[in-house]
Amino acid sequence: GDSVTQMEGPVTLSEEAFLTINCTYTATGYPSLFWYVQYPGEGLQLLLKATKADDKGSNKGFEATYRKETTSFHLEKGSVQVSDSAVYFCALGSSNTGKLIFGQGTTLQVKP
Amino acid sequence: EAGVTQFPSHSVIEKGQTVTLRCDPISGHDNLYWYRRVMGKEIKFLLHFVKESKQDESGMPNNRFLAERTGGTYSTLKVQPAELEDSGVYFCASTPEGGRASEQYFGPGTRLTVT
């Protein structure tokens, strides 16, 4: 069945460092891909999404490109801030019902 | 506009007891989803409502879990009787359209602890 694999955390970076969180997927058909973020004490929020191959999603300085050839959707940010500390979830929307299949989540801690 | 709300935020119960979780979706959102995250693992899909009908309940772990959405507004998820492995965070999400590209709006979750 469909699945998502994320790099394990936690990831600890200094402020202004470059961030990459790897995400790969297995799916039949043509899924949409998402990154959700959960800040401490809050619910999940959509960070960005891409609905077809070669699409690039971007928001708040974060980017991810839908790579069908490598079945990947890696999250990147050029310069992280302390306020980016959160748990990041990669997910795919695999069917017409729209249910999401998530990776295990990656905890990011950014130190000043 | 109010977001998705969930109640309670945290529940601690003993094994064998019953717990009911509630989710109020964003007004007008016909699609409502339940998910669960256990012990820091991946968030797993439980079921999907379209209005009051169960569209997909393939993720429900067993018959101790019962979800309802009477009237197509709020939803409840009852666990009876609760077991230790039911501990985790239960998320609810809603969206006006249920397609694969739709953004889902999540509630803050209910943390369930079964002792």
pLDDT digits (tens, 9 = 90+) for B7-17: 999 999 999 99
Judged against a pLDDT cut of 90, whether residue B100 lies above it is answered with no
Across the interface, do A98 and B95 touch by the CB < 8 Å criterion? yes
Instruction: Using the structure block, give the residue that is written with the tokens 């929307």.
Output: A93
Best residue in B92, B104, B111 for a mutation probing chain A (most A CBs within 10 Å):
B104
Å between B14 CA and nearest CA of chain A: 25
Better-predicted residue by pLDDT, A64 or B96: A64
User: Which chain A residues are Cβ-neighbours of B97 within 8 angstroms?
Assistant: 98
Residues paired with A7 in a beta bridge: none
Residues A8, B70: contact at Cβ < 8 Å? Answer: no
* Angle subtended at Cα A68 by Cα A12 and Cα A49, rounded to the nearest 5 degrees: 55
A73 touches A33 (CB < 8 A) = yes
Question: What are B22's strand-pairing partners?
Answer: B7, B76
Q: Is 80 exceeded by the pLDDT of residue B95? A: yes
pLDDT band of B2, cuts 50, 70, 90? confident
Nearest CA to A52 out of A26, A73, A82, A23 is that of A73
At B19-71, the pLDDT tens digits run 999 999 999 999 999 999 998 788 999 999 999 999 999 999 999 999 999 88
Q: In this predicted structure, what is the pLDDT of residue B97?
A: 78
CB B41 within 8 A of CB B89: no
pLDDT reported for residue A41: 83
pLDDT in tens, chain A (112 residues): 889 999 888 999 999 999 999 999 999 888 999 999 999 888 899 999 999 999 999 999 999 999 999 999 999 999 999 999 999 999 999 766 788 999 999 999 999 9
Q: Which residue of A has its CA nearest to B90?
A: A43
**pLDDT at A78 (0 to 100):** 97
Taking CA atoms, what residue in B is nearest to A46?
A: B103
Tell me, what's the pLDDT at A95? 67
**Average pLDDT of span B71-77:** 94
Residues in chain A: 112
Cβ–Cβ gap A102/B4 under 8 Å: no
